[in-house]
Amino acid sequence: MKFLVGTHTNAGGPGACIIEVNKGELRMISACRAIDNPGYLLITRDKKTVYAAASFAKDEKGAVASYRLENNTLTPLSLQPTGGTSCCHVTLSEDERFLYASNYMTGNLAVFPVQDGYIMPREQLIKHTGASMVVSDRQECAHVHQAIFQPNSNRLFVCDLGLDEVIVYQKDEETGHLIRETAISCAPGCGPRHLIFDGENRFYLGCELSNEVMFFESINGEWKCLQTLSTLPESFTGKSSVAAVRKYKNYLFISNRGFHSACRFLIGKDGSLSDKTILPVSGNFPRDIWPLDKSSLLAANQLSHTVELIENGKTTAEIEVGCAICVIPL
């Protein structure tokens, strides 16, 4: 099975990579260094185009990039500035006609048309304002961390770590432009980072600052938080933070940076989480994870510069990948 790995070239990463997991071993297939800092990646349904949240090496201003994928090789197609700093996430509309980029440091969201894999110049830039200030050194202003569409809808849910809110926008069908609809308030100081939907009316929110996961459900048209759980062992007293939130069938996985691990929950029929299990990660700072089944996963370790394979709670293989940020199946 092949995977895409995004890296930060400014910290020694080889660019956008393709690796293979085969019979318990990991190997590098190819890497493209042409684009600076292609961190978070996504791939189109036809598997022909890869998009990246990137940044320019000279000034770290945000950028979005696209590659053509052919014969296990990535070839750069286009590059556009996002109008912000620290671009950390990209997502596509359901029809794959528009790309949305989250700029963390400047707290704004950029909208781009795309045509045959080429990213056109930015058409909209939305600036979030305000600040939670509960965690004063992290919530001094808006920090847009992720945007993701609700399944089977034109609603875009945007996690803002600095505001302690998930802001919901309605996408215009023709232009792709966004109109603010509502905001979902989260626990003060939790720091919303990434969410993942389970159907149309449930989502799980990974909270970076509180190291928790929250279960939200839409009840009579209003989003309610029904459960909040720590992703850490009760005995842990050090510093840690939630990074990625992934799902495999009826299991939810969350990576912990600091207490380097993946936390797994069983998802009940009513959406509630139970049976918390901690899966150790031997690498440092697992920025992203991808579950292969209920007991196996890949971890992209940013600070130890590795991607590792974890099976039944033990690391069984690893490969050197500088400043690994993202790992997704190809």
Residue 269 domain flag: yes
**Residue 188 located in a structural domain:** yes
Contacts 24+ apart (CB under 8 A), 126-134: 126/169, 126/178, 126/180, 128/160, 128/162, 128/163, 128/167, 130/162, 130/163, 131/162, 131/163, 132/162, 132/163, 132/164, 132/188, 132/189, 134/164, 134/188, 134/189
Predicted confidence (pLDDT) per residue in 234-263, tens digit: 999 999 999 999 999 999 999 999 999 999
pLDDT, mean of residues 133-162: 98
User: Is 60 exposed, middle or buried (CB count within 10 Å of its CB: 0-12, 13-18, 19+)?
Assistant: middle
**135 within some domain:** yes
From CA 16, how far away is CA 120, in angstroms rounded? 21
Whole-number pLDDT of residue 59: 83
**Is there a domain that residue 223 lies in?**
yes
Model's pTM, two decimal places?
A: 0.97
Residue 31 lies in a domain: no
- Indicate whether 272 belongs to any domain: yes
Nearest to 82 by CA among 94, 90, 92: 90
Residue 44 lies in a domain: no
73 pLDDT higher than 90: yes
HEC string for 73-91: EEEEEEEEEEEEECEEEEE
Domain residue limits at 249: 128-280
Domain count of the fold of the chain = 1
What pLDDT sits at residue 276?
Answer: 98
The CATH number of whichever domain residue 224 belongs to comes to 2.130.10.10
Q: pLDDT for 161-216, tens place per residue?
A: 999 999 999 999 999 999 999 999 999 999 999 999 999 999 999 999 999 999 99
pLDDT in the model for residue 257 = 97
Q: What is the mean pLDDT of residues 296-319?
A: 97
As a whole number, the mean pLDDT across the chain is 97
Percent of the chain with pLDDT over 70: 100
Evaluate whether residue 239 is within a structural domain: yes
